[in-house]
Structure 1
Amino acid sequence: MGTHSGRTNIIGAGEVGSAISVDMNKSDIHKTNSIFWDTKGNEILGATSLPLYGAFVSEENCQLFGDVAGKRVLEIGCGSGHSLQYLGERNVAELWGMDLSQNQLDKTEQHLTSCGLSAQLVCSPMEEACGIPEQYFDFVYSIYAIGWTTDLDGTFCRIASYLRQDGIFIFSWSHPIHKCVVAENDRLEFKKSYFDESWYSVSLGDSTLTLSDRKLSTYVNALAKAGFLIEQLIEHSDEEMTRSDSDFAKKARMLPVTFVIKARKL
């Protein structure tokens, strides 16, 4: 049974109200989140996809992938398939996608087919063995999905196993400092501790999701432990994208709302 933590939680661009602290149970979390994405996930949270890494950060400006022609590419948490489309249209040799939700994979398949593309699709939690080939991919990437993992160290080790030597892993997620700060009365105020990595559930309408907000150092240290060398950490916003007067854009001018890491397998 959970307890209200009395903090405001921010998913993507929106604040979603009070959180309920929950015990860490992998199977329960997988079940909750797969139901969320099978049903209302995209309607509630929308979907971030390449060329955007998240709010105000784009591949056009960052150029993290470079030329992907002839490369084998795997997406972790492929959602509705728009990021796979973006890379598929750049002449990759093979497209692969993995997602926790079969409903999302069905959408991916429909979307790619309508674009004249195809991908090998695998339904599995990212933490678990699922038959994806090892030492095989030139790029593994994930757009706003890695944070859903229940086992960050295990996930990064598994991703390292999919990559050939010198292969590249690129991922984005909501910046942990963004989760701590809310805009109120033209001021930015801390609403939760940056160091709090406990698991919590949030109810959005009749849907529920379960997450943990990890520190940036937690991601960096897990990458190092899994044998990655970090080549780039991006936590700035594209200036021209934050010129609106919305509270969210004002916030993005003051602190990072998205981070992106590019790492190489040693």
Structure 2
Amino acid sequence: MSEDPTALVTRRQAGNAETVRANRDWWDGAAAWYQAEHGEFLGDTRFLWCPEGVYEDEARLLGPVAGRRVLEVGCGAAQCSRWLAMQEAHVVGFDLSARQLAHARRIDDGLGNAPLQLVQADATVLPFADDAFDLACSAFGAVPFVADSAAVMREVARVLRPGGRWVFAVSHPFRWCLPDDPGNGGLVVRDSYFDRRPYVEQDEDGVATYVEHHRTLGDRVRELTAAGLVLLDLVEPEYPGDLGDRWGGGWSALRGRLVPGTVIFVTEKR
């Protein structure tokens, strides 16, 4: 969920066109704030999977990356792509938000790096050829922000070569039962886990300004298998005791000790 205290919040249906427009505009408007708020924790040249501090250089969920063709789905400012490029992977990153991609260029310029290969695109309609990539990855990008996440799975499977790996991290579905509160109030089950209506922030005229879609664990598995992907692992990172509340928002040491915050799906194309 976003961190706009003035937003009018509801749970209601939101289709593809409304979701795309709202989230493209929200991420364009919030890109500078997001990078200023979280950029230090993310690191310009590290691959962070989640607020629990799981880094790819330690977790190795993608397997070997050197020489591989890698697609980052919903890359934001391309911190993960930059780390992959430093490991000698051939990387393409894409995002719906032009402003997020502009921050990727800013970081590359500041580091004196050769610019990454970046594309503005919708995750449900990828502008890439079949079997174009060896690996695909996403750290909280795109998947929760589309109305049809099954289409994302089909598209990623299409552009992966047989045997290619697709690994993505999203908020753990159980967190949708709880208020987005880092304190004791965020430990009380309020909503049904099975309520799949998206979380919508909207203006006074009912126009959506931010949309996030909920799927259960079972929904995700069915989306993956229907796309021809095999689930290899499902990782639920524990919250480190020394992390504190550095990420902010609904992420806290209190909640992290008791309920999962993130789930990472490790899959492979048949």
| TM class, shorter-length | 0.7 to 0.9
- Within a 5 Å distance, the mapping from 1:93-108 to structure 2 comes to 94-108=90-104
Of the three residues 42, 51, 58, the one matched with 1:55 is 51
Structural RMSD (CA)? 2.8
Amino acid at match of 1:228: L
User: Aligned residue for 2:125?
Assistant: 128
Partner SS for 1:218: helix
- Runs of 5+ consecutive residues of structure 1 not aligned to the other structure: 1-10
In 1, Cα distance between equivalents of 2:23 and 2:237: 29
The alpha-carbon deviation at position 152 of structure 1 amounts to 1.3
Deviation string 1:157-196 (CA, Å, 9 cap, x unpaired) is: 1000111110010100111112322465488211211111
User: Aligned residue for 2:105?
Assistant: 109
Would you say 1:142 and 2:116 are equivalent positions?
A: no
Partner SS for 2:135: strand
TM-score, normalised relative to structure 1: 0.83
1:85–1:117 CA contact under 8 A, matched in 2: no
1:58–1:238 CA contact under 8 A, matched in 2: no
User: Aligned residue for 2:219?
Assistant: 218
User: Aligned residue for 1:193?
Assistant: 192
User: Aligned residue for 2:74?
Assistant: 77
User: Aligned residue for 1:22?
Assistant: 12
Amino acid at match of 2:11: S
Amino acid at match of 1:112: D
Would you say 1:36 and 2:26 are equivalent positions?
A: yes
Which has a greater percent of strand? Answer: 1
User: Aligned residue for 2:240?
Assistant: 239
2:47–2:79 CA contact under 8 A, matched in 1: no
In 2, Cα distance between equivalents of 1:80 and 1:128: 20
In 1, Cα distance between equivalents of 2:159 and 2:186: 45
The alpha-carbon deviation at position 65 of structure 1 amounts to 2.1
1:179–1:117 distance in 2 versus 1, CA, 3 Å: farther
- Within a 5 Å distance, the mapping from 1:175-194 to structure 2 comes to 175-182=172-179, 184-185=183-184, 188-194=187-193
1:75–1:141 CA contact under 8 A, matched in 2: yes
1:170–1:260 CA contact under 8 A, matched in 2: yes
1:15–1:29 distance in 2 versus 1, CA, 3 Å: closer
In 2, Cα distance between equivalents of 1:176 and 1:42: 28
Amino acid at match of 1:82: Q
- Runs of 5+ consecutive residues of structure 2 not aligned to the other structure: none
Of the three residues 253, 256, 264, the one matched with 2:260 is 256
The alpha-carbon deviation at position 120 of structure 1 amounts to 2.4
In 2, Cα distance between equivalents of 1:31 and 1:244: 32
1:15–1:189 distance in 2 versus 1, CA, 3 Å: farther
1:238–1:62 distance in 2 versus 1, CA, 3 Å: farther
TM-score, normalised relative to structure 2: 0.82
Of the three residues 131, 149, 157, the one matched with 2:154 is 157
User: Aligned residue for 2:115?
Assistant: 118
Q: What's the % identity of the aligned pairs? A: 24
In 2, Cα distance between equivalents of 1:256 and 1:264: 24
Deviation string 1:38-80 (CA, Å, 9 cap, x unpaired) is: 1124525746855321121413442212321111111111101
1:199–1:178 distance in 2 versus 1, CA, 3 Å: closer
1:114–1:15 distance in 2 versus 1, CA, 3 Å: closer
Amino acid at match of 2:230: L
